Amino acid sequence: MSETVEFGAYVLAASGVVLLAIGASKLTRRLPIPAPAFFLLGAAVVGATLPVTDHLSILAVERIGIVALIVILFDGGMEIGWRSFRAAAAPITALGVVGTFATAAAMAALAHLLFGFPWIQAWLLGAALAPTDPAVMFAVLGNREVEGRSGTILKGEAGANDPVGIALMLGLIALAGDPAGSPWTVVEEFARQMGIGLAIGLIGGYALTAALQRVSLHDPSLYSLLTLAGSGVVFGAADLARGSGFLAVFIAGMLVGDARAPHMVEIERFHGVLASLGEIVVFTALGATVSLAHFGSGDLWLQALALAALLALVVRPLAVAPLLAPARLRWGERLFVMWGGLKGAVPILLAAFALVAGVEGATQIYGVVFVVVALSVIVQGATMPAAARRLGVPMRLREEGSRE
């Protein structure tokens, strides 16, 4: 009977969080703060004060985050579409690959030189902080229309640099766990994940598109389930082949997003709802782990505050500006992209990878990343609409129910 009561408490807590999240999503249409900030910090308060999250292990949170990210990346890929991606492929690829490595290297150097992090821990911290986050970016821009290429570039970067950041982090974790390892361990891991993920993403995307166009199903709702199951197959196949399932899912989503097939409107709405739910779940689960991170002394907060300021005001602009030089963008759009490096669930999830792997110093890394993410979501996320206005980037709220 006690187990039933305890499970009922979990159901009550989870349902209450979803209801609060729905209310927060309405509130964010009046306030500039992105909804993920409410989920993350609200769950952190609950996790630190109530016993309902005591049994939520970091491994369980990692798995929740992976599933949520699959849904979010597939929906994000569908929303961008392959044609829009190709129109801005050069800056998106440059930011997603070169920008991620440059940001990781710069943050690693700062963490080592300013705060004495050992080099391997500094690189792990840099890799965790390098990717922008699709859940936050889509939450900020997803219900707004941004004219020009800047919105597409930011969304494309958020989807593209997550697989890059994840592959880099996994390579660094492998290096940290192998005393005889070398930097080539990271290079080999990264090349294998990107190559296999790209190949399986293209194959899976074309296969899913063909299935939507040629398979006749008696119930229109089954087409949405077909794409959902297909995205899971794409991720699983890439992951089992030791490739990047996240890159594969994102590419497959872009190909499906441009498919001329029946019931595409319903499919897009279905995945949009799932992505919103995934966003709520992943930020809530990650926020609840704040009590597991053992934040420790005030030094951690000082480190996080300094690194957050340097990342937003120095590292991001210096890493992005040269990569945007060839792009046909106005100066206002360039500055908007530079400011739009929002952090979110993915950096926390990457830090969780290090925790699960038992890497030395992972607890401190997790705490620093959590604070940096919270600051990024609240400060940068809240100022994106104002920045768009000041920089002359047209942005307006999208009509209810519209994804166009």
Average pLDDT in the 199-212 region? Answer: 95
How far apart are the C-alpha atoms of 33 and 14, rounded to whole Å? Answer: 22
What is the distance, to the nearest Å, from the Cα of residue 113 to the centroid of all Cα atoms in its chain?
28
pLDDT in tens, 116-160: 999 999 999 999 999 988 777 766 665 566 766 788 888 888 888
- Strand (E) or helix (H) holding 397: strand 395-397
Check whether 19 has a pLDDT greater than 60.
Answer: yes
Check whether 180 has a pLDDT greater than 80.
Answer: no
Reference 379, options 308, 318, 314; nearest CA is: 308
Burial grade of 85 (CB within 10 A; 0-12, 13-18, 19 or more): buried
E-state strands within 180-244: none
Instruction: Output the furthest CA–CA distance in the chain (Å, rounded).
Output: 66
pLDDT in tens, 310-342: 999 999 999 999 999 888 888 999 999 999 888
Q: Tell me how long the chain is.
A: 404
HEC profile of 166-177: HHHHHHHHHHHC
Average pLDDT in the 38-61 region? Answer: 67
Of the two residues 373 and 9, the one the predictor is more confident about is 373
The pTM for the full model equals 0.84
